[in-house]
Amino acid sequence: MSKKNHSNHLQNKDLDNFSKTGYSNSRLSGNFFTTPQPELSFDAMTIVGNLNKTNAKKLSDFMSTEPQIRLWDILQTKFKAKALQEKVYIEYDKVKADSWDRRNMRVEFNPNKLTHEEMLWLKQNIIDYMEDDGFTRLDLAFDFEDDLSDYYAMTDKAVKKTIFYGRNG
């Protein structure tokens, strides 16, 4: 066996040993492992803010005639709605917000499910009415095409294993 082949054989043996044990071998050098390239996206958002009395009336009037919106549970101090083919949930409740010392309006949606035009519509027609707005939920999704069972988490700390199954099993 040539010196070069012997060296490759040792590196492959070390690689096999690593994959079976999960332990690193200091003789391994170079870039043997490929890093999975996840696709990053936000897959859930909740934006909260306050509607003042004037904007609550304006938004309520707009929502009651807008075909993109389905309103229910409507009173002077609250309403619930779904918009854009049920992809956006909107809730305004002044009494509950005052009693819990929270902001009075909430908008929940998955940005992955909205087109760019729908996002602009949501901002211009709903979110722009809110003051003191901000996020209370912002979920970042890492979508991998790779089979992650081929990878290891190396750490000195105890780790918990959680298995997530996709829709395809």
Residue 81 domain flag: yes
Instruction: Give residues with Cβ within 8 angstroms of 99, minimum separation 6.
Output: none
Give every CB contact of residue 38 below 8 A, 6+ residues apart in sequence: 142, 143, 144
Q: Establish if 104 belongs to a structural domain.
A: yes
CATH number of the domain where residue 82 is located: 3.30.160
Residue 59 is assigned to a structural domain of this protein:
yes
Report the pLDDT value the prediction gives residue 33, as an integer from 0 to 100: 57
Domain membership flag for residue 64: yes
Domain that holds residue 135: 39-142
Ordered per-residue pLDDT tens for the chain, 169 residues: 444 444 444 444 444 444 444 554 444 444 555 667 888 888 899 999 999 999 998 998 899 899 999 998 888 899 999 999 999 999 999 999 999 999 999 999 999 999 999 999 999 999 999 999 999 999 988 887 777 777 777 778 877 777 778 788 7
Ramachandran assignment for 129, one of left (phi > 0), alpha (psi -120 to 50 degrees), beta (any other): alpha
**Residue 76 domain flag:** yes
pLDDT at 5: 45
> Is residue 26 a part of any domain in this protein?
no
Cα 73 from chain centre: 28
- Does some domain include residue 120? yes
Structurally, how many domains does the chain consist of?
Answer: 1
In this structure, are residues 47 and 134 in contact, taking their beta carbons and an 8 Å threshold?
yes
In a domain, 11, yes or no: no
